[in-house]
Structure 1
Amino acid sequence: MVHALEHLVVRHTHRLPSPAGPAGDGAAAARRFDAALMTAGFKLSAELIERLSGFAEPTVVETAVRTLATVRELVGDHVRHNVYFIDFPANVPDTLEFWIACVAETLDDGDARARTLDQLREGVLDLLTLPSYGRYRHTYEEMLAAHDELIAAAGDRLTVLHLGDDGETEVTALYLALAGSTTPLGEEHLSDLAVLAEHGADGPQPEEIPVRENRGVVNHARLRAGATPLFDTVTDVLRLACALAEGDVTLREPTRFRALSRPYRRTLLAGLDAVVAASPAKLSDVSAHAEAWKRLGERLHPHEYPHWPHAAEVFAVARGERKAPSFDSRVEELLTRGDVVAAAELLASHAPGRLFRALDRLLRTAADGKEREAVLAAVERAAPEVSGRVVLSVREHVRNRAGGSGGERRVFVNREGKAWVADDTRPPLDEADRERLVAVLDAETRRRLPSPGHLLIDPDVLDVALPLSGRAASAGLGVLPRGSVSPVEGELLRFFTHWREARHTTDLDLSALVLDADYATVTWLSYTALTDVEGRHSGDVTAAPDGASEFIDLRLGAVRGTFIVPQVHVYSGEGFDQVAEGFFGFMLRESEQRGRPFEPRTVRMKSDLRGPGRVALPLAFRRDDEGRWHAHWLHLYLQGEPSANQVEEHRVSIAVLLRGLMGRSSLTVRHLVSLMQESGARTTLWDGRTVPDAPVTYIGLERPDSLAPGSRVFTPENLRDLLPA
């Protein structure tokens, strides 16, 4: 099996495909492999150690080398995490004293002295011009020598790698899972799907690819592999054209189409002709992306292929030469006339999913109880035809529409994670209507959920948000979907960020804002406030041609506040989508633990920083009334300023955003578990140690070792599969 594919399997499933090789005594090598993994916070399952022990030592060693590289990248240990202050978290100076020391050192430097004196005379000093500021003053090896070895603690993370099937079976299963996902995938997962789809173009295919952008990625891979693309709408063809131009298959951003080879042009035009010939009504989809179709037509030259007349109709509609009113325009026309009942009936008959998405608007537009009754009746009839993900999404929406409009703030998050806040001016939904909708949606979800048999539940997973969109979480290790809440147990909380610039000098800044229960600022830690509340900042690094890291240490018991909001700011240079590499994470340690600033065994979460805007908000920490801390997962980006972003300037906007988010509740695993229990499922809360002898359906943060054969397992890596179809 190609090693790159094995890398994908381990990263996505925490399963190691069973290697192939000569038999032998590999027990000693397997034990060394396990010991090496533990330094990165991973270990082999007992079953996997037993399997590896039966191979010759070279096979085990080769497997270990590949796997170690994968897991170290997963946890962020594939780079060198140096710190500006070599002894961090010890001996971090007071901010003002540190700046004065930098100035004094510069005044002793003949080359920089004159420039610094000129700035001081003008009353404004640019720290970035000081030779001793923002650049490492020691090597990575010198930093390591200044720190003791990590003292192991019982709370250190150990992520178990389990034994998988043979390589090809594991790769095929992963491809089918991603391609057949009922939820949209994130950027990284789409990239991985492209690799898997090309590899598996001639192999088993999913029965259905319900997410259209996933279909676009699969079609691109199939075309490269010489297989026939799968089209059933004209938009499928447009997505493939975007993929061929290395554009955006989600169609959110315009694609600059390039000249296409004749075989590709023929494939696209033949596909269009077949779709329209089979269903001329599908021409109504063209107007939604008319400009893109017009630009694509300039590259496809449909007039050169008169034997595909239906393809030419697509471009005639895009140019306005032929009328094909879109379905949405028909609905809008009815609503403009005030005919809510007819609009609901049209949606229920032809687009039940769109009916559900328009439900709030229809109920608000209805003139009286009779019209609302007609809308609700249409919802009840259409519910069996709507995807499970949409049913659950509407259930979450209805849950958050309780109460009235009394100055509440509404948080908007787009598909890329960009967030903003506005006044919620919507009138409230009728309480009786809400209760009826909840009953309908829960009954439909309950009907679709399979019988789980014996449910074994890790209590910590109950407050994990259902992954209704793959874009609600960043790629990484230990990452949970936006809206999830998870317990935080430890004395010392350490944040870290690492970045490596691609083409331009780039300065990212790690900060942490502390807010009280009323969302007022208590304090912050950043390059402008290196020490406070027994916390420490590792120092400001202002360029990262070879990679740079920053850290913040906090003792949770000393924090005088309710919220801790870590954030990463783009101070200058490349954005999060432009740097060669960027990620954020946090570690938990006990007070007696020493070690390097970055210790992979203590990393609880590491996520990629890839999003719009210039301020990243991965998650926030909240202390409850009993003094316990919990992580609230955000995965959000604020627009910020083009440059010089810093925590002081965004305190108010972050507080407003956080207030809005904390007033919203997400649909979690607890919801599905309660519905399964109502259907009679036997449920056991896992004690973290023992597992039943018989097969179970396990739902938790990590797969336990020694589950009985035939058990079904749902962890954050495949939680999307728990959603009913």
Structure 2
Amino acid sequence: MTSETTLRTRLIQRTLRVARAGGPGGDSSPVARQLDIALMSAGFKASRELVEHVSSLAKEQAVSLSTGVVVAVRALVGDQVAHNPYFRRFPRGVPDTVEFWLRELRSAAGSGEQPEVRFGVINLLSLPRYGRVQHTYEEMLAEHDELLPSIKDRVTVVHLGGDLDEEITTTFLALAGSTTPLESSDLQLFATLAALRVDLVPESIPVRETRGVLNAARLAAGLPLVAVDTVVDVLRVACQASGGDVTLLEPTRFRGFRRAERRVLMGALDQVIAGNEGKLGDVNRYAGRFKRLGERLHPHEYPAFPHAQDVFAVARGERVARTMAGRAEVALAAGEVAQAARVLAAAPGLLFRSLDRLLRSASGPEEAGKVLATAGSVVASVSGRVLCSVREHLGNRTQHDFARLFVNRSGRPWITADTRRRLAPEVVYSATTMLDEELLRRLPAYDRLVVDPEVLPVALPLSGKATADGLDVLPRGTRTPVDGDLLRFFTYWRQSKQRTDYDLSVSLLDENFDLQDQVSWTNYHADGAVYSGDLTDAPDGATEFIDLPLRAVSARYVVPQVDIYSGEGFTEVVESMFGWMVRDGEQQGAPFEPRTVRMRSELRGTGRVALPVMFERDYEGKWTAIWLHVYLSGSPKFNQVAATTSTVGTVAATISRRHYLTVEHVVDMLAGKAGSVTTWAPGLRLDGPVTFIGLHRPDGLPEGSTAITLDRLSDLVPN
């Protein structure tokens, strides 16, 4: 069971709202001032309402609340651990690579300790001092001057929310109502909240895996399932209830179910099929899992649910259920593209996901027009997320892609050549116009809209799987400007059971995405960039840095990556993270300064090479961050930057050249329906409630205002 403290922390980190504390009142103004100072040192600031609330509490409650807030935000930015680089004076004092290895060899010879030698070759990584910090954290800090303040340092406002019950309910309903799949940590949070609000049925639960989590909580509480309309919905419930993967990406070992639970699951399956036997076709995709589930549900014990028994008959191959997709394939094989579209119209979402294939298979403009007419007749029945996904996809189909890149829910990419026939511009125009008209129809008409321009280039979060947990992490494909003199990457990991070596590296690519140079443990200096030194063991945690002076770098593209050289994977270590900081001028400071952190993300993918983000320099010398969120498979051991050059270049080229559907596209449509639209700027005075769209809620919005911010951007994707 999640403790109240843990829950409060997670809610703060997700919403940047602090649940109100109860208890006796008092005067804790000094505590409130100390809270604000502590927050500012980490790049945060307490809102006026939060300061007033802490000030009104008795000292004990004020100190407890303030401590919890500081702990939460420091962990959010990655400041909960000591970041100690291999070279204590980094970025100064980092030797030439060859010089460093010669020094280590001389040190080993002087100590009498012999490095490992295989086939006449010295294993440099086995040198006795190598890979372990030789100084304390305090000794490292003593080598660095104090960080000088800069107007470019990040300041993120932390707001006051309702009491804990209100924050639980608000966050539960927000996650349940998300129109896009939740990121894994949000899905875990939702599971916790669903158990606390199991009797509360949200008005809408658009995403099926979210429904599965909620229904697993209801199953455990002996309550009926809600919003179940396919057999796969029931399968998701069984997976979640068994501690497995509700997304169905990974197989689940089903537990034994109580008799009452078996009856609920069998009843749900029966109800789905009784309404439409055509839904038996959905069983084929997960036939093996349904067979294993049947072994736990004992279908023969429930003669009152004959339709549910048919589900398991199909899974066992005792009954044939043709799928709609199969019937469409028969029509396509016969060259009857318009007929295939009419078949798929019975499943509108499937029709729209197949729209590209149907249009490029059409014999000419007339048949393409028939396909679009069929699509238009059912467009109102398609989810907004699918409409946005197809809109983004078709916007890239008038030209060939650099490569076709498919990224699964774990961030693992599959790459192939783009051999598709391009779609005619007039066909794409007709299709995208139809999609935009339907999206516009569904979008709300806000009375007063205020928009922060910083949010406009953010890619619409069509899936939480295209991002990661952390601070200011944006969806894949988002382009954001980088304003500063120095970019500093960092990665931190702490191993669980075995010695684990992660390596932070940077690929420096030219305008053709070919390798120009690299910075890593094999090359400490390149193109102005500097590496902080290699750490190969992390029982108490380890951090590596790379400095990139933006004005000195000649490469066109910079792609940082985290390689697993040996040991535990990203999902096996106790914790692991990646982020970057921006320094301005001669700010000095320690290698890790929380208020200079622009982004920090958890590393939890299943691959062995993480590509969180890339950076692009234009011909005027301005830099832009482009979010990747990709995990390459890599090798079981010894991953290095040199071995991934080709794949890294292809991933970088494909994502950077793709046109993503952005918040700006939706805001432009909203502006046409809004009573008024105002561009946000610090200090703007507003005289009444507004709907604010931006990365973070600013301090001082009028009472009654609604803020659609980073944690709620999926609200911009219509249901």
TM-score by structure 2 length?
0.96
Distance in 2 (alpha carbons) for counterparts of 1:532 and 1:591? 21
Question: How far is 1:151 from its partner?
Answer: 2.1
Distance in 2 (alpha carbons) for counterparts of 1:351 and 1:653? 37
Look up the SS of the partner of 2:427 in the other structure: helix
Is the counterpart of residue 434 in structure 1 residue 428 in structure 2?
yes
Distance in 1 (alpha carbons) for counterparts of 2:342 and 2:7? 48
Residue in 2 that maps onto 1:38: 40
Structure 2 gap ranges (5+): none
Superposed CA offset, 1:357-378 (max 9, x none): 0000111222233221110101
Distance in 2 (alpha carbons) for counterparts of 1:257 and 1:53? 51
Please give the residue correspondences for 1:174-323 in structure 2 after superposition, counting only pairs within 5 Å. Answer: 174-202=171-199, 204-230=200-226, 231-323=228-320
Question: How far is 1:680 from its partner?
Answer: 5.6
Look up the SS of the partner of 2:601 in the other structure: strand
2:383 alignment partner AA: S
Once the two structures are overlaid, the 10-residue window that deviates more, 516-525 or 172-181, is: 516-525
Please give the residue correspondences for 1:2-17 in structure 2 after superposition, counting only pairs within 5 Å. Answer: 2-17=4-19
Residue in 2 that maps onto 1:401: 397
Is the counterpart of residue 386 in structure 1 residue 379 in structure 2?
no
Equivalent of residue 687 in structure 1, options 674, 681, 691 = 681
Distance in 2 (alpha carbons) for counterparts of 1:675 and 1:305? 52
| Residues 420 and 638 in structure 1, CA contact (< 8 A), matched pair in contact too | no
Please give the residue correspondences for 1:235-634 in structure 2 after superposition, counting only pairs within 5 Å. Answer: 235-348=232-345, 350-403=346-399, 405=400, 408-634=402-628
| Residues 324 and 343 in structure 2, CA contact (< 8 A), matched pair in contact too | no
| Residues 491 and 579 in structure 2, CA contact (< 8 A), matched pair in contact too | yes
| Residues 458 and 688 in structure 1, CA contact (< 8 A), matched pair in contact too | no
Residue in 1 that maps onto 2:72: 70
| Residues 195 and 221 in structure 1, CA contact (< 8 A), matched pair in contact too | no
Please give the residue correspondences for 1:699-714 in structure 2 after superposition, counting only pairs within 5 Å. Answer: 699-714=693-708
Question: How far is 1:178 from its partner?
Answer: 0.7
Superposed CA offset, 1:488-537 (max 9, x none): 11111110000111222211100112222222323221111112333221
Moved over 4 A (4+): none
Residue in 2 that maps onto 1:92: 94
Distance in 1 (alpha carbons) for counterparts of 2:583 and 2:364? 59
Question: How far is 1:681 from its partner?
Answer: 4.9
Please give the residue correspondences for 1:132-143 in structure 2 after superposition, counting only pairs within 5 Å. Answer: 132-143=129-140
Distance in 2 (alpha carbons) for counterparts of 1:149 and 1:89? 15
Structure 1 gap ranges (5+): none
Please give the residue correspondences for 1:132-171 in structure 2 after superposition, counting only pairs within 5 Å. Answer: 132-171=129-168
Distance in 2 (alpha carbons) for counterparts of 1:136 and 1:272? 58
| Residues 522 and 560 in structure 1, CA contact (< 8 A), matched pair in contact too | no
Distance in 2 (alpha carbons) for counterparts of 1:408 and 1:633? 17
Equivalent of residue 102 in structure 1, options 101, 104, 121 = 104
* CA distance 1:146–1:263, shift in 2 (3 Å): farther
Superposed CA offset, 1:251-310 (max 9, x none): 122222233333333332233233333443332321221111111112222223333333
| Residues 569 and 645 in structure 1, CA contact (< 8 A), matched pair in contact too | yes
Residue in 1 that maps onto 2:658: 664
| Residues 540 and 550 in structure 1, CA contact (< 8 A), matched pair in contact too | yes
1:315 alignment partner AA: F
Once the two structures are overlaid, the 10-residue window that deviates more, 689-698 or 80-89, is: 689-698
Superposed CA offset, 1:126-185 (max 9, x none): 122111110121222332333333222221111111111222111101101111211011
| Residues 614 and 642 in structure 1, CA contact (< 8 A), matched pair in contact too | yes
Superposed CA offset, 1:176-215 (max 9, x none): 111121101111111111001001112x321121211111
Is the counterpart of residue 29 in structure 1 residue 31 in structure 2?
yes
Question: How far is 1:667 from its partner?
Answer: 0.5
| Residues 448 and 674 in structure 2, CA contact (< 8 A), matched pair in contact too | no
Look up the SS of the partner of 2:573 in the other structure: coil
Once the two structures are overlaid, the 10-residue window that deviates more, 148-157 or 540-549, is: 148-157
Superposed CA offset, 1:474-501 (max 9, x none): 1100111111111111111110000111
Once the two structures are overlaid, the 10-residue window that deviates more, 226-235 or 637-646, is: 226-235
Once the two structures are overlaid, the 10-residue window that deviates more, 45-54 or 481-490, is: 45-54
Question: How far is 1:123 from its partner?
Answer: 4.3
1:48 alignment partner AA: L
Distance in 2 (alpha carbons) for counterparts of 1:515 and 1:278? 57
Distance in 2 (alpha carbons) for counterparts of 1:305 and 1:678? 56
Distance in 2 (alpha carbons) for counterparts of 1:374 and 1:307? 45
Distance in 2 (alpha carbons) for counterparts of 1:224 and 1:156? 47
Measured on the aligned residues, the alpha-carbon RMSD in Å equals: 1.8
Distance in 2 (alpha carbons) for counterparts of 1:721 and 1:64? 31
1:453 alignment partner AA: D
Question: How far is 1:626 from its partner?
Answer: 2.2
| Residues 183 and 469 in structure 1, CA contact (< 8 A), matched pair in contact too | yes
Look up the SS of the partner of 1:558 in the other structure: coil
Once the two structures are overlaid, the 10-residue window that deviates more, 250-259 or 1-10, is: 1-10
Superposed CA offset, 1:627-672 (max 9, x none): 2111111111112222111112222221122122222110001101
Question: How far is 1:591 from its partner?
Answer: 2.5
Look up the SS of the partner of 2:85 in the other structure: coil
Distance in 2 (alpha carbons) for counterparts of 1:368 and 1:620? 40
Is the counterpart of residue 128 in structure 1 residue 125 in structure 2?
yes
Look up the SS of the partner of 1:607 in the other structure: strand
Distance in 2 (alpha carbons) for counterparts of 1:362 and 1:420? 23
| Residues 6 and 171 in structure 1, CA contact (< 8 A), matched pair in contact too | no
Is the counterpart of residue 649 in structure 1 residue 643 in structure 2?
yes
TM-score by structure 1 length?
0.96
| Residues 612 and 628 in structure 2, CA contact (< 8 A), matched pair in contact too | yes
